[in-house]
Each structure stands twice: as structure tokens, then as C-alpha cells.
Amino acid sequence: MLFRSIILILFTLISININASKAMRYFRDITLNDGRVVKATLVGDEHMHYHRTTDGEIILYNSEGKYYYAASKEDIDSLRNIYNNLVEQQNTNQAKGMRSSVTTNKNGHLTGTRLFPCTGNPKVLVLMVEFTDVSFTFTSEDIDTLLNSKKMNKNVWINGVVAKSQGSVAEYFNFCSGGKFRPQFDIYGTFKVNNTAAYYSSHETDFVKDACKAAEDYVDFSEYDQDGDGYVDLVYIMYAGYGGNWEGNEGTIWPKTLYTSGNFCTVDGMKIHRAGMSNEINFTPADIAEVFNNEKPLVGIGTFAHEFCHTMGITDFYPNNGDWLEKDNYHPDWYDNQGMEEWSLMDGGGNRQNTCLPTPLNAFERYLFGWIDDFQILDEPANITLTPLRDGGQAYKILGNNDNEYWIIEAIPSDNEWYFGFKSYTGTGMTVTHINSSISRFSASTMVNGTHGNPGITLVPADRRIIGFFDYDESIEDYEASMLGDPFPGSQGVTRLTDWWSKDGTIDKPIYQIVQNNDYSVDFSFMYLRGDANGDGEVGMADVMYIVNYTLGTPAPSFKTREADTNNDGIINMTDAMYIVSYILNGKFPKE
């Protein structure tokens, strides 16, 4: 029975990896099985989700279609088991070599033979697919505009809600890559599959197969195998109707990406092994009636952009761990300082402003894709001006004690259309992104932020707290206010960073005198307190006198030469004293 055992081995080696998007943060009234009405939102992701009320109770949805409070330990245990099984499966996938196709190149960027390419202008196969019970509202021209348009639109607001993306998915990546990557989306369809949306919401591999079969006679799949390995590089499905990641859209498909180490099916003799899918219509039927006068809005670009990044190899950055849910001993605060929240497309940033204004990719993400070759390292005292990346500025890297721990700092602006609304909503200034992981753990088949107290990527927030949205006993107002305090100086006016929250010992590389300029650049002094000529930890008139005495040939014994050279020209003279006077009067040093 040699033949049979070989088949068995092959079968067990094939595994499927699924990445999903984070549930939309959107509270609405829901009616419980006992008749009470509470405000709740969906929390979690494709794999494990629940509903939380504004006051932090967990609500589940049962098989009879009723919402009820999750009071029993069994209820919570079942949620936790879903997630723990997933973690186990991902570990098994790794053991089986799922990640073998994802690695790092000699420059340290994420790469892989079968990832969708992230440079140039690759063609992306997009199928518009509808169900037996749901058809498209929008045309292929509308979808083409959403994905490919070069033109930037004005924001469209309906009843106080952002209702339309101002730019396309292609332009989003063109902007974030600094012109190095602008995918071209080839849109086909519509095609109809043989089952209902509800059926496919729990049979996603069937959905991929049925969609490809429906399109087989109309699409030359071989055109989309750009590396010629016999596998279609990616099939992306834009499906008709709503997305399951919104509260109230049960029975619709949750946006996701799928990857198998085998293949889902074969069409035109080409193997299908990687697929992405996301919804056509934004919001929920109830919102359409209440907010949008029964006119369905097209989805924003955020969900598509998030899923598309998965197909290029990056994992989710939101924290998720079933064990933190335990009812008798639960740990809502464990979701804090564990992820990026709306600061990353790969966390909640894809959902920003109802998916219409996704957070631009940050410097580290641009590095993963190879759009930033490498970072300049800061390692000695200097006066630095951080200029936002959109101005051809740069991000810097600050090293920890080992290769897998470092920090990336960049300036976040708000005067660019892709950063619209950052000033009043998310925040602007210097963000400090803590990387605490090998690059390979950012690949799409792993979870990088699921270990409590030891996340792989998170901000070091100026206000010392990133409230996790999964932290279900926090109010939504506190969550939003907290984001404005994350960048430096931010809403709390934090002008120094001396504690880097290193997981590997103390990092003695303080940043002082952080000032945000009107053009959104950020000035700071690195590893020294600029102007503190007498070394007392303050900058004031006493330091001016120290410099005056120094220039008169009578320096004090404690005179600090590096600190005294405030204009950084290697000479100490009255100009340095004048710089300190200016700092005292204006709160910032003149430009050198």
C-alpha cells in the first residue's frame, strides 16, 4: 500500500491559511433575547468575534439568531477555544513549512516566491461575483474608479458620515510606495455563483472555486501568472452586497485572504492558490435606511487595501488572544499597548473613517515591502528635524540591544489628502514604532501581537497608553481621545522620551525638546539636552551665563561643551547663548 500512504502524506502536508480584517468599530442598537435594547459593536475578526456593549458586557449571537449576554463560563470557553485552535493551527502551519515561501531578502525586506509582487505595475485579476440572492448595486465602471482611478475626489459626507473614498486603491499604494508600486486592477464580471451569500459566508474555499469556475470561459487566467510558475498569482473577488465585519451583517462573507500550500482548484490549466475577497457595499441595511436615505454607499478602499497587503505577505497587527477573555478572571486591559490600533492599515487603520480614509502605510510597513531601502540609524547626540515621508522626508531607526528590537520614528502630517483628518482625529507629530520581533514573524501566516506584554509591533505612545479596541471596558470616547495623545508632543504636550519600553534592558538614548513645526516636521535633540551648559537638567538663563563666562575665558568646571554648542557648529560663542535665549522665549531653537 505504498501508493496510498504517499497520498496520505501529501494530503496532510496541504494547509490553508486565512487572514481577515478587524471588525468595524461601529456601535448600534441591538435587541437582546429578553427584549432589552443595548448599544453594541462587533469586536474581533473573522476567526473569533463577539459583541460588546458600550459598558463592556460581552454579547453572543446564538443559532436561533438571537443576541444574548454571555453569562456562562461555557459561552466564554467556546469563544476562547475557537481562538486557541486557530493559534494551534497556525503553529502547525509553521511546522509544516507554510512560511517557507515567505522570507527576508539580503536587504531585510519581506519576500517570497509566491507572494503577490509589491513593486512595479503588476496586473491584478479582480472578479465581480454575485450570489443567487444578492446582486451588484454598482457597475464595473464604479469598481474600476474605486480601484484604479488616478483622480482624487473630494470627501463626500452624508449626515455627518464620511461616505466615499477620495482616492483609489492603486493611488493609495502609489502614494505609500513613493511611486514604486501602482498595481493595475483588471476587472471582470459580473459572474453569478450557485449559492447564497449566507452559504458562502461559511464555505469560503467553495466560494473561490465556484467564482473561478464561473469566470473560466471569460478570463484567460494564464495572463495572471506573471512569474510563470503555473499558479495564478492572485484571484481577488469583489463580492456583491455587505461585509460580515460590520455589526448586524450576519450571514455575509467576512473580508479575508486565503492561501493554500496546495491549490483550491485548477482553471485553464492554472492552479489557484491565493485569493482575497471583500465586500461591495459599506455599512449595514439598518444604516442605509436610517442614515443614507436608502441609497447604498460603495465600500471605501480601506478593507481592500488591508486584504491586498495580506496577499503581499504581511500579517495582521491587531492583538487577539482568546485567553484574555476569560469571564471569571478576564483581562480587558491586556489588549492595551499590544497593537497599533488605527495607526496601522494592518490593525484598525483599514477601517478608519468607515474604510474611506485608511491610514497610510507607516515607515516600517514601507520597509517590509522594500519601498524604503533602509533607515538611517541615530546613535549619537544630534539635533534632528524629522520631515514627513510625503515630503521626501525620512524615518530614523534607533537600535536596541539585539537585532530584533529597535524603534522607527517618523513625522505624521495632516496637510496631505491621504492624511486628511489626522489633526483632529488620530493625531499628528512624531510616532515611535517599537519593533520587537524578527522580520519573518510579520509574514501572513503568523500572529505578531498575540503574546501578552510582548507584542511584535506597537507604538510607544507619548501618553503612555494605547487603548486596545478589544479592551471592552473602555468607553469609545476614551479610546478616541487616547489616540490624539499617542504622537509626540501630541494632545498631552509630551516633549521628551526617556523610557523606550524596551523588552531587552534599558536603552539610554533619550530624546528631548520635541517640537512640532507648522509644516508638520518635528524637531528634537537626541541623546543630549541641548543648551544645558551647566548640566542641571534644565535649560535657562543660568546656561546663558555659563556660555558668556566661557567666551570670556572663565568656564565653570562643570561646563558641558556638547550641550553648550546649541547651533551644532563645533564652536562655542555668543550665537549659542542667543539660541538659548530664543529657546526660552519661543519654546524652540532657531533653525541652524
> What's the grid cell of residue 353?
473613517
Choose the one of Zn ion, Ca ion, none that binds residue 465, judging by a C-beta under 5 to 8 angstroms depending on kind.
Ca ion
Q: Check residue 359 for interaction with Zn ion (CB under 5 A).
A: no
318 vs 335: CA distance, rounded Å: 9
Nearest approach in angstroms of CB 89 to Zn ion is 16
Q: Check residue 443 for interaction with Zn ion (CB under 5 A).
A: no
Angle of the 140-148 helix axis to the 169-176 helix axis, nearest 10: 10
- Spell 238-265 as b/e; 16+ CB within 10 A means b: bbbbbbbbbbbbeebbbbbbbbbbebbb
Q: Check residue 278 for interaction with Zn ion (CB under 5 A).
A: no
Q: Check residue 21 for interaction with Zn ion (CB under 5 A).
A: yes
Nearest approach in angstroms of CB 471 to Zn ion is 19
Please give, one letter per residue, the 3-state secondary structure of 244-287: CCCCCCCCCCCCEEEEECCCCEEECCEEECEEEEEECECCCHHH
Angle of the 302-311 helix axis to the 169-176 helix axis, nearest 10: 60
Binding site for Ca ion (CB under 5 A): 225, 227, 229, 231, 233, 461, 463, 465, 482, 485-486, 532, 534, 536, 538, 543, 565, 567, 569, 571, 576
Whether the link from the prior residue into 388 is cis, omega within 30° of 0, is no
Q: Which value, to the nearest 10 degrees, does the dihedral of the CA atoms of residues 165, 166, 170, 171 take?
A: -150
Q: Check residue 19 for interaction with Zn ion (CB under 5 A).
A: yes
Choose the one of Zn ion, Ca ion, none that binds residue 19, judging by a C-beta under 5 to 8 angstroms depending on kind.
Zn ion
359 vs 336: CA distance, rounded Å: 20
Nearest approach in angstroms of CB 287 to Zn ion is 23
Using CB positions, name the residue nearest to Ca ion.
482
Region binding Zn ion by CB under 5 A among candidate stretches 133-141, 183-191, 314-322, 479-487 = 314-322
Instruction: Give the residue from 177, 453, 494, 136 showing the smallest Cα distance to 280.
Output: 136
Binding residues for Zn ion, total number by CB under 5 A: 3
Between residues 131 and 546, which has the closer beta carbon with respect to Ca ion? 546
Q: Check residue 204 for interaction with Zn ion (CB under 5 A).
A: no
Between residues 88 and 227, which has the closer beta carbon with respect to Ca ion? 227
Q: Which value, to the nearest 10 degrees, does the dihedral of the CA atoms of residues 317, 249, 275, 368 take?
A: -20
Query: By rule CB under 5 A, what string of x and - marks binding of each residue 444-473 to Zn ion?
Result: ------------------------------
Nearest approach in angstroms of CB 74 to Ca ion is 35
Q: Check residue 316 for interaction with Zn ion (CB under 5 A).
A: yes
Angle of the 574-586 helix axis to the 541-551 helix axis, nearest 10: 170
Give 312's Cβ-side CA count (13 Å radius): 22
Q: Check residue 525 for interaction with Zn ion (CB under 5 A).
A: no
Between residues 21 and 482, which has the closer beta carbon with respect to Zn ion? 21
Between residues 362 and 513, which has the closer beta carbon with respect to Zn ion? 362
Using CB positions, name the residue nearest to Zn ion.
316
Which residues of the shown chain bind Zn ion in the complex (CB under 5 A)? 19, 21, 316
